[in-house]
A and B are shown apart, each in its own frame.
Chain A
Amino acid sequence: DIVMTQSPDSLAVSLGERATINCKSSQSVLYSSNNKNYLGWYQQKPGQPPKLLIYWASTRESGVPDRFSGSGSGTDFTLTISNLQAEDVAVYYCHQYYRIPQTFGQGTKVEIK
């Protein structure tokens, strides 16, 4: 199985500042034939289902604010939330859909400092 490891487990950021979440996969999730990284990022607020923010590692889902951005390739990925807003308090998960079984990171909790 591809193990997805996120860091940190939690972080506290001041309003308007930047939050950076890292995700490392135990194997590459880059498919060389189409040069796509099979990596997504989700936001989950309490009592709600996950919401897709980013897919193909860096493509923002329709309707997602542009303060959310994804980067990285191969085995190392980053979700950046610039200009953190109060409504961004949530747990964030990375997800690889390259290999069976699909796997998720353990989650990173983002709070306001």
Chain B
Amino acid sequence: QQQLQELGPGLVKPSETLSLTCTVSGGSISSSSYYWGWIRQPPGKGLEWIGSIYYSGSTYDNPSLKSRVTISVDTSKNQFSLNLTSVTAADTAVYYCARHSVSGTWYSAFDTWGQGAMVTVSS
């Protein structure tokens, strides 16, 4: 059974770049069966999809983040990463990495989640 684990700094200064890595264990990130995504949840609030990536490097991002997002994959390390630039306090959230299955030419719901990493933006 695959497991996902987020890793990154718990505190980021305003205007800097938030960087998180998700390590996939129990299976290959290069499987053609899955997409890999990032979702965040501000304290006490709901869920926001950030973006998803396929092992080939093909990505889908949330336009609301106005090109501040870069999602990349490192198949040699079985990891995928999130970079979010020019952060503000509004980016304070628990950041989850998750897996969703390929379905035809698209994908399905998120069936496996990491435990989440709390990131606070503060000086």
Task: Using CB atoms and an 8 Å cutoff, list the residues of chain A in contact with chain B.
Answer: 1, 34, 36, 38, 40, 42, 48-52, 55-56, 61, 93, 95, 97, 100-107
Contacts and interface: CB of A to CB of B under 8 A. Distances in A.
Q: Choose among B47, B63, B106 the residue with the greatest number of A CB atoms under 10 Å from its CB.
A: B47
A40 B110 contact: yes
A36 B103 CA distance: 11
B49 A101 contact: yes
Contacts of A40: 108-110
B2 to A, nearest CB: 13
B76 interface: no
A40 to B, nearest CB: 3
A110 to B, nearest CB: 15
Nearest to A107: B46
Contacts of B107: 97
Contact of B96 (A49, A52, A106): A49
Interface stretch (B14-22, B24-32, B112-120): B112-120
B113 A50 contact: yes
A48 to B, nearest CB: 8
B113 A97 contact: no
Contact of A55 (B48, B64, B109): B109
Given A49-B96, A49-B116, A97-B100, A102 B111 contact: no
Contacts of B108: 40, 55-56, 97
B46 A105 contact: yes
Report, nearest first, the 8 A-B pairs whose CB atoms are least far apart.
A40-B109, A49-B113, A102-B49, A55-B109, A101-B62, A104-B47, A52-B111, A106-B46
Contacts of B104: 34
Given A49-B114, A101-B49, 16 more contacts: A34-B104, A40-B108, A40-B109, A48-B115, A49-B115, A50-B47, A52-B109, A55-B109, A55-B111, A93-B46, A95-B109, A97-B108, A100-B62, A101-B63, A104-B46, A107-B46
Nearest to B97: A49
B100 A93 contact: no
Nearest to A103: B49
A101 B111 contact: no
Contacts of B115: 48-49
